[in-house]
A and B are shown apart, each in its own frame.
Chain A
């Protein structure tokens, strides 16, 4: 699976959009981009995933660049409960659920 690079920490004001970047310059054509988050030592929680098209669900939006070398997770209206570590992961169909977690981005939402 391709390696990802994320900033170690970010801050966001409550109610504003949080934009979390991820670089995955060595991603291959059959690898998906997944985002998980972990709130204060709880088990990680799935947020969203995509292959090459932008995706949106009730939690977030995922924007993947045309060359697929980077992506951005967008939390449109961040709340205090969105404070967590966010992990960007790339995986292919053959890796099953053998996810490789980096150190992620600690997002702190401030009141």
Chain B
């Protein structure tokens, strides 16, 4: 049961460098999203996607790009890393339809990617 897989788990970047955080899910979920979590705070939504070819901005999208070319993958790109992007990043996926029957509508989260920008 792979669930939601994020890579890398740890990354150190210099200011101005670019990189991509990978996220893959094997549950055929329509919905995928990226959150960031800063120390002592809750999760904040960066970008999300309701299906292949469809993406939209969340609460804190600036400095990040996403694409959704397949149902399984939802990479997050940092175009020019800044120290303010030092954070733990979580990818999540879900069935879109809420509740009812066996579908709880729950979000399944990856284990997180810890990014440090110097």
Contact = CB atoms under 8 A, between A and B. Distances in A.
Interface of A: 32, 34, 36, 41-46, 49, 51, 87, 91-93, 96-104
A43 B90 contact: yes
Taking chain A's interface residues, is the majority helix, strand, or loop, or is none over half, making it mixed? loop
Interface residues of B, number: 33
17 contacts: A34-B106, A41-B88, A44-B43, A44-B90, A45-B109, A49-B99, A49-B105, A91-B98, A93-B98, A96-B94, A96-B96, A97-B92, A97-B96, A98-B45, A98-B48, A99-B43, A102-B42
Interface of B: 4, 31, 33, 35, 37, 40-45, 48, 50, 58-59, 88, 90, 92-94, 96-99, 104-112
Contacts, number: 69
A42 B3 CA distance: 14
Contact of B45 (A36, A43, A100, A102): A100
Contacts of A34: 106
A43 B111 contact: yes
